[in-house]
Amino acid sequence: MRVFFDTEFTGLHQNTTLISIGLIAEDGRTFYAELTDYDKAQVDDWLQKNVIENLIINQERDHYYRIAEGDWLIRDHSQIVASRLEEWLSLYPSVEMWSDCLSYDWVLFNKLFGHAFNIPKNVYYIPFDICTLFKVAGVDPDVSREEYALLEVQGKKHNALLDARVIKACFERLHERLLIGEWSDAQCPRCGARLLVNRLGNQWCSNAGGAGMTSCTFGLDKREPRTEV
């Protein structure tokens, strides 16, 4: 199961601390937590305006826990958040973690569990970054994520769960661009239907995988020689 996540934290420096974390799985289930033990002394004016004021749980509550239709909402100190997050991740036999410019996000995810070797056993130890997908897909990695996602979301940027939803939407568009491909003007040498081609140069018949006797297998066989598009 792919899980898309984002974090908010107290600055781009070595001693940064985790403020919030949001995750959304491919099946739509979500986990969102706000931590009560981040270093408030590190919060500057920008963080106060763009991160702290975008937190969604009552800041006067030190302990909050709610599950509703697969969505988990937590506010507590880091040890409780880590325990609840591990419980949520255990819903899936195996987890592949995806984020965006994830250098800090992945370190803070690991730190939440105390050590990189302590992350849940079902979580794959190598994380994945949609920045690389943007580059491979021929899209400027500096593109506005919200614009590329084509996603109508309520809320403001720099809320961890909102940003995780945007990451998921970007991944889905990039995945389609890379693997499903786009129409070409070339015709299938077997059945004459139009070909699809992706950014990797792979191509296959638009009838490939179709139902019935008319289904064409061109491009599904890896031994099929490439034709010019």
Mean pLDDT of 8-27: 96
- Residue 83: is its pLDDT beyond 90? yes
The three-point CA angle 199-169-176 to 5° equals: 25
Cβ atoms 207, 188 nearer than 8 A: yes
Query: In angstroms, rounded to a whole number, what is the distance separating the alpha carbons of residues 185 and 193?
Result: 10
> Which run of H or E residues covers position 147?
helix 145-149
Mean pLDDT of 159-177: 91
Mean pLDDT of 64-84: 94
Confidence bin at 142 (pLDDT 50/70/90): very high
- pTM for this predicted structure: 0.79
